[in-house]
Amino acid sequence: MANENKLQNIIGHCKEYGFIFQSSEIYDGLGAVYDYGQYGAELKRNIREYWWRSMTQMHDNIVGIDAAIFMHQMVWKASGHVDNFSDPMIDNKDSKKRYRVDHLIEGFAETLEKEKGDALLQQMDALLAANDFAGLKQLIDDNKMKCAISGTCNWTDVRQFNLMFSTEMGSVADDANVVYLRPETAQGIFVNFLNVQKSGRMKIPFGIAQTGKAFRNEIVARGFIFRMREFEQMEMQFFVRPGTQKEWYEKWKETRMKWHLSLGISPDHYRFHDHVKLAHYADAACDIEYDFPMGFKEVEGIHSRTDFDLKQHQQFSGKKLTYFDTEINQHYIPYVIETSIGLDRAVMMILSEAYEEQDLSTAEKQESRVVLKLPAMLAPFKLAVLPLLKKDGLPEIARELMDQCRPHFRCFYEEKDTIGKRYRRMDAIGTPFCVTIDHQTKEDGTVTIRYRDEMTQERIPLSSVKDMVIEKTKMF
């Protein structure tokens, strides 16, 4: 399947089967904002839970918090977001369409032969690293890059555009009441660093994790839930002794890649990408990229953020944010390694990996199915319970099994349609196991269990279903 088709098919599937809808669709939608439907919400929740437990439950020295979205406006001044959280943009004067400069050039590079495209991207990286806006404009002009809408090369100069959304708190609209919708969750961790360290008696090295919404006024938002204006992040700041950051940066690169591979995704679908242009706070940074239907793109960032954020907050707040290290008898501002993964991007990665269109035709019959081969622990429903008929006491046995399983995992009950159709619906939402209750169940207490990926079936004791599903869908 061509990759462009695959993306479109995944988007269509997500809508048809209740995973993801365009926000405010009945009003023609809101750009780059999406709603999760009944199955998408479960899938997203399970990914969040797996990340949360991997970070907190599985590490003695990492705790989780839940900071507010609104924070004091000085937080964003101190972090550098008010002055620096901007992208170079360019407008086409004829269509009035605004482009992120790097996206415009990347899009153009894709139309060139590989060697020429790579050379152009190298030039772009160097100009971005030097903040050379005139040079970027020249590159766009020299290559006669066109606006996709007007088809012209009539461009404005390159300018910076801040990506934060702002609003006012309270009834008086003045500058003092401006609050920002957080563009990253990380700052909620930094400003609580001492609260957590002291109340939890945490010793360095230790981490603080958090998941939550973030907002960015992305200019070019495309690729379905890949780049959204409202999205969710799962971030962890790991506080270390200055001088040890390089070692911890490498450790976290390895740990996070292991987490990705634990999702059963092939190592060939991942790669690291080291940043050429470092953010204002970083002394090393890389992305974990996944091979999405539109090619390799960032799913997670790992950043060595130095002591930049805590130092800035100490300076702007006037509050001491140092830590006393009893092992070396010294006060210092810790260095930080950050791991930051977008939850929505993780959902898109899992869906891209899981989505398969299969041709099951035989000489006698044309047949196909769409299956989501989701990791069993992440599937919205772990088990479907299907009585063969709506009579003869079969629904009662099925309901009893539902009651047994419900407190342990989500299960789905369905008695309409043929078994074949019911299996297909479960394949489409990624349910790993289906059990059918039939007349033999009444005789010998066994059921047919059907496995989603192989489509094989076997009979197992009804009494073993619950424990088998718990075992096969557990996270750890």
| Residues of the shown chain interacting with ligand GAP in the complex, contacts defined by CB under 6 A | 184, 186, 216, 218, 227-228, 231, 233, 235, 298-301, 338, 340-342, 344-345
Closest CB to ligand GAP among residues 10, 376:
10
- Minimum CB distance to ligand GAP, residue 344 (Å): 5
- Nearer of residues 119 and 276 to ligand GAP, judged by Cβ: 276
CB closer to ligand GAP, 31 vs 445: 31
Helix (H, G, I), strand (E, B) or coil at 383: strand
Q: In whole angstroms, what is the distance from residue 360 CA to residue 325 CA?
A: 63
Backbone angles phi, psi at 114, to 5 degrees: -55, -50
Q: With respect to ligand GAP, which residue has the nearer C-beta, 293 or 387?
A: 293
CA angle 28/34/35 to nearest 5° reads 105
Q: Which two tokens stand for residue 32?
A: 């780059």
| Shortest distance, position 227 Cβ to ligand GAP, whole Å | 4
- Closest separation in Å from C-beta 244 to ligand GAP: 21
Which residue in 429, 465, 473 sits closest to 42, CA to CA? Answer: 429
Reduced to 3 states, what is the DSSP secondary structure of residue 219? coil
Q: Which helix (H) or strand (E) holds 40?
A: helix 38-52
Say how far apart CA 340 and CA 266 lie, in whole Å.
Answer: 21
Cβ distance to ligand GAP smaller for residue 106 or 298: 298
The Cα 326–Cα 18 span in angstroms is 54
Nearest distance in Å: CB 342, ligand GAP: 3
Closer residue to ligand GAP in complex, CB, 214/383: 214
Per the DSSP assignment, residues forming a β-bridge with 353 are none
Taking the complex as a whole, the smallest distance from the CB of residue 230 to ligand GAP amounts, in Å, to 8
Measure the CA–CA gap between 50 and 376, rounded to whole angstroms: 12
Report which residue's Cβ sits closest to ligand GAP: 342
Q: Is the separation of the CB atoms in 465 and 409 below 8 Å? A: no
Smallest distance, ligand GAP to C-beta of residue 341, A:
6
